[in-house]
Amino acid sequence: MRRNRPTRSGRPSWRCRSMSTGRSEDRMRKVMNMSTGPTRRSGAALLGLLLAMLGGPAAWGEDRPNFLIVILDDIGFTDLGAYGSEIRTPHFDAEAARGTMFTNFHVGPTCVPSRAMLMTGVDSHLTGLPTLEHLMLPEQLGQPGHEGELNTRVATIAEHLSAAGYTSLITGKWHLGRSETSLPAARGFERSFVLDSSGADNWEHRTYLPHYTRAEWWEDFEFVEELSEDFYSSAFIVDQMITYLDEADPDRPFLSVVSFQANHIPLQAPREYVERYDGVYDAGWEALARERHAAAIALGLAPEGTPMPAFPEGLRNWSDLSPREQAASAMNRQVAAGMLEAADHHFGRLVSWLRETGRYENTIILIVSDNGPEFNDPGRRLAFQGWLAMQGYSRDLDRLGERGTYAWIGPEWAAASASPLSFFKFHAGEGGLRVPMIAAGPGVEAGRQASAFSIVTDIAPGLLDLAGAQALEGFEPFTGRSLAPLLRGEAERIYGEDEAVGLEMSGQSALFRGDYKLTRNMRPYGDGQWRLFNITLDPGETRDLTGERPDLFAELMADYEAYEARFGVLPVPPDFDGERRIEMLGWRAFGQRYGPWLALPLVLLAGLGGLFWLRRRKA
């Protein structure tokens, strides 16, 4: 089925193609515990609607909070203004001022496991998505917990809350699967308009990598074939959420998930935002890292005396770049700043709408990044450069960030975005795992910093606690702890000093216990060696304590091995390099898509060469 949908202004906005939803019925029946069920919406959502219509428990009154989860993509620990950044993020900062800022909050090394854990409250190895799909090895794919999409053994926070009477809605990046059982429409969300790819162009309906043949935009169960001509991702994601909230039953509390593409590559932003940062980055990435380090200490996000971490081995010095290279690099960084400020602006529009409709005061807002800053520098790959040229993407500095352009910051600026922490996305250093997290709203203590360790699996059980709702039975139980005591200011910590919490993604590994962290950073910028740090005193992981505390190192190694056994972690080879694997897959996709076209000129040249040889021989 194809249909045109109008925008709020009446112009056609997108065109969809429907998907059969037969397999989603089994999922609905499991959630609803019914023998029959409808085929268009999640069973939990419909059950919640039915119970709400019947009146529901007395606890479903006006005192039940709404929830707005804002997911930022690839944002470093100090990228928000409230965390010491030079980037203007007044609307995110306002929520930090009226709520709680987390200074020791952790996610996975990359988007997929983080989002799976956020949505389910369950360790990623039980969700079907323990790593990015491009990093899944053939021998891992299909193994329990490695299905390559959100499996049906876990329930989402939307399913839990919908069964308790909430309206659940999502717009923006999903990236947890697009099958009839893994799309958000099958997992508790009554309305959804999502991107089920790692990223996409922010101005147009097209992919951003040769690995994908199309940008996977979906509304409910329908593939979206066209987007509006005036599409910009941050604006559209907010507009669509406002539309869904407008259409929702105002008497039911809501869960709203707004998942921005900012700041995932390609970095793109309206020119007026980019130009606001003219000259800001001309001193280079080392200068920015020092500024962020000092700001974090001044704001109390890191303790006095926190050592300045060295950049990972292999990164360049700003002074080694030519003036032309410096100008190009600074402009890419400006686009990143403009893209984040634009996202903040559109988030502010959503906050204004909540105020105008009287819902703001009863809405708990969470703002979080899915991992540390993006280090990827795709321009270094020959295949990718060819793909960019074939797609017509421009790197023209005079209009970088605008429609038809493609920007990225690379590992050096990423390291500065994570300062005073070490490493960045794809790695298990604190710069890849520790991200900004802000909570504000009714019942959340205001003007406070939460320095206790917490992790992304703590969000789902925390929201259920705040809603006074029970978890659905028959699914994997939460592996995280409820954040509610921290949010209410009732506790200083939710994990004991001797409780160990593990993380793993394609060999990038960490084990947290009390003040200490055991960690292993794999390639491309790690060496695969285990190290021990006191991340309370040394959040930048500058001093390896393995030799000084061998007994503690052994204890934490045993804890980590127990974590792997408990959650079914499947190992990768000791020399596994995620960046190299993605590059290899890029070459393969490039060859499959363009190989015949590239081969044709070679065949013609060979033929002409053969004719020339024959003529000379006859002569």
Question: How far apart, in whole angstroms, are the C-alpha atoms of residue 474 and residue 27?
Answer: 12
8 A C-beta contact, residue 358 and residue 366: no
φ, ψ dihedrals at 437, nearest 5°: -145, 125
Calpha distance 236→198 (Å, rounded): 18
Beta-bridged to residue 508, according to DSSP, are 505
The closest alpha carbon to 64, from 253, 251, 250, belongs to 253
Catalytic residue (choose from 16, 91, 111, 125): 111
Residues recorded for the chain: 619
**Catalytic site includes residue 16:** no
| Identity at 323, one-letter amino acid code | P
Cα–Cα distance between 432 and 317 in angstroms, integer? 21
Residues paired with 81 in a beta bridge: none
Backbone angles phi, psi at 59, to 5 degrees: -65, -10
CA dihedral 563, 565, 567, 572 (to 10 degrees): 90
The two tokens of residue 107 are: 């996610």
Residue 149 near residue 156 (C-beta atoms within 8 A) = no
Exposure class string for 399-434: b at 16+ Cβ within 10 A, else e: ebbbeebbbbbbbbbbbbbbbbbbbbbbbbbbbbbb
Coil, strand or helix at 32: helix
Write down the catalytic residue from 106, 146, 175, 346.
175
On the 0-12 / 13-18 / 19+ scale of CB atoms within 10 A, 548 is: exposed
Residues labelled as active-site residues: 111, 175
